[in-house]
Amino acid sequence: MNRLNGKTAVVTGGATGIGRAAAKRFIEEGAFVFIFGRRQDALDAAVADLGTHARAVKGSVSVPADLDRLYAEVKAERGTLDIVFANAGAGSQLPLGEITAEHIDETFDTNVKGAIFTVQKALPLMGVGGSIILTGSSAGTTGAPAMSAYSASKAAVRNLARTWAEDLKGTGIRVNVLSPGATATELAKEALGEEGQKIFASMTPLQRMADPAEIAAAAAFLASPDSSFMTASEVAVDGGLAQL
């Protein structure tokens, strides 16, 4: 398929996991992709795998100057931008009673502030037919034990799409949320271990974790003209976790 032929995309958190899988899928469907992340070694490895239609820019979504540098590179090489996948995210466990201000700041700086400025700074390069995709989470609907900050941040992301769909009226730019459930990324494997992954899989009606490529397929749909009459929507790719 060449649904994204000639399109230019930005994927934050694009060096690993869902972001890297999405970048690969976008390229397979014809796009040129800029991946953005904090670790140079991971970015280098990703570009080596993704090939000549990928570029890597090092930086953090929580630092506005880094985003300015990202979009300056997009403008210099491609001129315009069609797809923004605001995928970078952070989250860790702290139960109520142990939550710290630092924990809140770290989570919201990446998941909320980072998403806001990733999108806002992209808008001057975007036009009719543009697609913005925000990474939500099943936790934004259901909550999750000891994940107050993360769950609340993803609920905020869901509301950003609803609000921005109103703000973007008349521009021809769409904004939607892609909400994965438990996904077998490198980070999940390290954080949960084999036993933890089994527990998360057992909580899901499909009785397994998602492969990142399955989330990437949904991202490609939201990026493409196939979803041209969708905005302010949430697409749950969670194996039914938050749906029952």
Tell me the pLDDT tens digit for each residue of 107-166: 999 999 999 999 999 999 999 999 999 999 998 999 888 889 999 999 999 999 999 999
**pLDDT for the residue numbered 186:** 80
Alpha-carbon distances of 120 from 185, 229, 234, rounded to whole Å: 28, 22, 20
198 is catalytic: no
User: pLDDT class for 191, splitting at 50, 70, 90?
Assistant: low
Q: What is the SS3 assignment for 11-42?
A: EECCCCHHHHHHHHHHHHCCCEEEEEECCHHH
- 176-189 tens-digit pLDDT: 999 999 899 887 77
Coil, strand, or helix at residue 179?
A: strand
Mean per-residue pLDDT, 174-201: 86
For residue 240, pLDDT over 80 is answered with yes
58 is catalytic: no
pLDDT at 193 over 90: no
Q: Which domains does the chain have, with CATH numbers?
A: 8-237 (3.40.50.720)
pLDDT tier at 194, thresholds 50, 70, 90:
confident
Supply the pLDDT for residue 41. Answer: 97
Taking the complete model, does pTM exceed 0.75, yes or no?
Answer: yes
**Of these residues, 113, 154, 189, 198, which one is catalytic?**
154
**Does the pLDDT at position 1 exceed 80?**
no
Q: Per residue in 50-88, pLDDT tens?
A: 999 999 999 999 999 999 999 999 999 999 999 999 999
Catalytic hit among 24, 58, 150, 198: 150
Task: Give the pLDDT score at 233.
Answer: 98
Using alpha carbons, select from 4, 18, 82 the residue that is nearest to residue 46: 18
Give the pLDDT band (50/70/90) at residue 42: very high
Pairing of strands 174-180, 131-135: parallel
Residues 186-213 have a mean pLDDT of 85
pLDDT in tens, 209-225: 999 999 999 999 999 99
- Largest Cα separation within the chain, whole Å, is 51
d(CA 118, CA 109): 12
Query: What is the predicted pLDDT for the residue at 173?
Result: 98
Per-residue model confidence (pLDDT) at position 209: 93
One-character DSSP codes across the chain: --TTTT-EEEEET-SSHHHHHHHHHHHHTT-EEEEEES-HHHHHHHHHHH-TTEEEEE--TT-HHHHHHHHHHHHHHHS---EEEE-------B-TTS--HHHHHHHHIIIIIHHHHHHHTTGGG--TT-EEEEE--THHHH--TTBHHHHHHHHHHHHHHHHHHHHTTTTT-EEEEEEE-SB--HHHHHHHHHHHHHHHHHHSTTSSPBPHHHHHHHHHHHHSGGGTT--S-EEEESTTTTT-
Cβ proximity of 226 and 35 under 8 Å: no
Task: Dig out the tokens for 177 from the structure.
Answer: 């949320």
Q: What is the mean pLDDT of residues 19-45?
A: 98
**pLDDT score for 171:** 98
